[in-house]
């Protein structure tokens, strides 16, 4: 059985063409799957009964299953989803209120089951790598989350932005990432333009080049340390690509109009949050002409050696950057009461199941 979530629009078109159907049928089917979020062929009223019958014999529309949902006091909603082979991944919906007072949602998406990069502060990193997620699994997260929003929110909820900051390293699964980004950009489907999508990476040479050439998303780089030495301690996998080389590549990265590279700097108490590191960070940011910094407060994980930084140190760190004329914004991650940082829900679910 062909899971139709796994086909891009061109692939769906040729799949239907082989069955003798014209292109406009593929467009209709695409709309049913991605725009109307139909899960059964019976609902597809604009298709003939014969075609619906044929589809139900040859294909399925298989969404990831919801294993559990947790909601934080700030509205952040975290889903643990079960994939076809039983593997589980996480996705998070994060609300924010815009200037007009309307709630807009951002979804954080996973791209791999686990991660091979082994960052020492990251729950996903400590799980190791299991496998890449397919295009249908990546986009299936959006279908599940939208469905949940429609069911639970009185007004039509707006899923505004997508960030690839969930489990896994997106650029190590570039083929499926690109297929997902292309599908998001298709008319008549989920309709997310590249300006509403951010891909976060710890920095992978080959994938970075490909993402830049594709122009399919904004770029965020997980920096987390201002020197090669400290970075190698915190992010042993990522640091195999020397920091100087990464910065050089970022300088020639093809940016969109008004785009700047976002550096993410996860602040770990007593590890990378001192004034010396802030001054070193200034040099790095200046080395990349168009860039800005998000300072992220570490969300403590049981069993992890790292601690949340003190507020004084965070503010002092930010001030050093501001005094140097560098744009830095502090981001206290939402959903802290539900383990909403990368990989944390899966870890606590596994611990509960193991009786811990
Ligand atoms: N692999 C990619 C994208 C997924 S990680 C990357 O590394 O960029 C997404 C972000 O979650 C990273 O910036 C990581 O630093 C952050 N993160 C991981 N564990 C965290 C924690 N306990 N608290 C806060 N942020 C965390
Ligand atoms: Fe992988 Fe990103 Fe976690 Fe590092 S921070 S282990 S790259 S998911």
pLDDT at 195: 94
pLDDT at 356: 43
Minimum-distance ligand 2 atom for the alpha carbon of 235? 4
Give the span between the Cα atoms of 115 and 133, in whole angstroms: 11
114 Cβ below 6 A of ligand 2: no
Strands (DSSP E) found in the chain = 2-3, 59-60, 65-71, 77-82, 88-97, 103-108, 112-114, 129-132, 158-164, 197-201, 218-222, 261-267, 291-297, 328-331
Contact residues for 263 (Cβ-Cβ < 8 A; gap 6+): 220, 221, 223, 284, 285, 288, 291, 292, 293, 294
Q: Among positive and negative, which fits the CA dihedral 250, 254, 258, 262?
A: negative
Q: Distance, CA 150 to ligand 1 centroid (Å)? A: 28
333 Cβ below 6 A of ligand 1: yes
Q: Token digits for 227?
A: 């020197």
Give the span between the Cα atoms of 95 and 153, in whole angstroms: 12
Q: Distance, CA 89 to ligand 2 centroid (Å)? A: 14
Model confidence at 154, pLDDT cuts 50, 70, 90, reads low
Phi, psi of 56 (to 5 degrees): -70, -20
Q: Summarize the confidence of residues 257-262 as an average pLDDT.
A: 91
pLDDT digit string, tens, across residues 234-252: 999 999 999 999 999 999 9
In 10 A of CB 94, how many CB atoms?
21
pLDDT at 323: 97
C-alpha Rg value of the chain to the nearest Å? 21
Q: Distance, CA 182 to ligand 1 centroid (Å)? A: 24
Q: What angle do CA 38, 44, 46 make, to 5 degrees?
A: 140
Q: 329: phi > 0 → left, psi -120 to 50 → alpha, else beta; which?
A: beta
pLDDT digit string, tens, across residues 169-188: 999 999 999 999 999 999 99
Q: Is 201 helix (H, G, I), strand (E, B) or coil?
A: strand
Q: Token digits for 183?
A: 């599908």
Asked if 233 contacts 241 with a C-beta cutoff of 8 angstroms, the reply is no
The fraction of the chain above a pLDDT of 90, given in percent, is: 81
Asked if 35 contacts 190 with a C-beta cutoff of 8 angstroms, the reply is yes
Give the span between the Cα atoms of 292 and 260, in whole angstroms: 7
List the catalytic residues.
Answer: 90, 342
pLDDT at 246: 97
Asked if 190 contacts 223 with a C-beta cutoff of 8 angstroms, the reply is no
Asked if 243 contacts 203 with a C-beta cutoff of 8 angstroms, the reply is no
Give the span between the Cα atoms of 143 and 37, in whole angstroms: 7
Q: Token digits for 117?
A: 């990069």
Model confidence at 257, pLDDT cuts 50, 70, 90, reads confident
Q: Is 166 helix (H, G, I), strand (E, B) or coil?
A: coil
In 10 A of CB 249, how many CB atoms?
16
pLDDT digit string, tens, across residues 310-335: 999 999 999 999 999 998 999 876 67
Q: Token digits for 124?
A: 């996903």
pLDDT at 349: 62
Whose CA is closest to atom 9 on ligand 1?
165
Ligand closest to Cα of 166 equals: 1
Mean pLDDT (the chain) is 92
Residue 212 reports pLDDT greater than 90: yes
């Amino acid at each position: 059985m062909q899971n139709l979530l796994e086909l891009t629009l061109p692939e769906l078109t040729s799949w239907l063409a082989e069955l003798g159907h014209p292109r406009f049928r593929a467009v209709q089917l695409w709309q049913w799957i991605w725009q109307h979020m139909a899960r059964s062929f019976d609902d597809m009223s604009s298709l003939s009964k014969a075609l619906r019958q044929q589809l139900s014999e040859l294909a399925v529309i298989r969404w990831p299953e919801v294993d559990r949902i947790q909601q934080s006091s700030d509205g952040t909603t975290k889903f643990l989803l079960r994939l076809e082979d039983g593997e589980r991944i996480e996705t998070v919906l994060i609300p924010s209120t815009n200037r007009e007072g309307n709630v807009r949602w951002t979804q954080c998406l996973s791209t791999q089951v686990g991660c091979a990069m082994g960052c020492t502060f990251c729950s996903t990193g400590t799980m190791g790598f299991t496998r890449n997620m397919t295009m249908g699994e990546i986009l299936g997260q959006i279908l599940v989350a939208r469905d949940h929003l429609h069911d639970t929110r009185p007004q039509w909820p707006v899923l505004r932005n997508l960030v690839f900051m969930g489990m896994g390293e997106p650029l190590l699964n570039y083929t499926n990432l690109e297929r997902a980004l292309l599908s998001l950009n298709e008319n008549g489907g989920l309709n997310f333009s590249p300006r509403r999508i951010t891909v976060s990476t710890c920095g992978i040479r080959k994938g970075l080049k490909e993402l830049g050439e594709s122009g399919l998303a904004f770029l965020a780089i997980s920096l987390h340390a201002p020197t090669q030495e400290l970075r190698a301690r915190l992010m042993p996998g990522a640091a195999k690509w020397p920091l100087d080389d990464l910065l050089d590549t970022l300088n020639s990265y093809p940016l969109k109009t008004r785009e700047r590279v976002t550096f993410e700097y996860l602040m770990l108490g007593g590890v990378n949050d001192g004034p010396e590191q802030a001054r070193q960070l200034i040099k790095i940011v200046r080395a990349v002409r168009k860039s800005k910094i998000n300072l992220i407060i570490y969300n403590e994980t049981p069993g992890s050696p790292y601690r949340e930084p003190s507020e004084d140190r965070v503010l002092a760190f930010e001030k050093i950057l501001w005094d140097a004329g560098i744009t830095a914004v502090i981001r206290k991650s939402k959903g802290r009461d539900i383990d909403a940082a990368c990989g944390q829900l899966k870890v606590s679910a596994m611990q509960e199941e193991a009786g811990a």
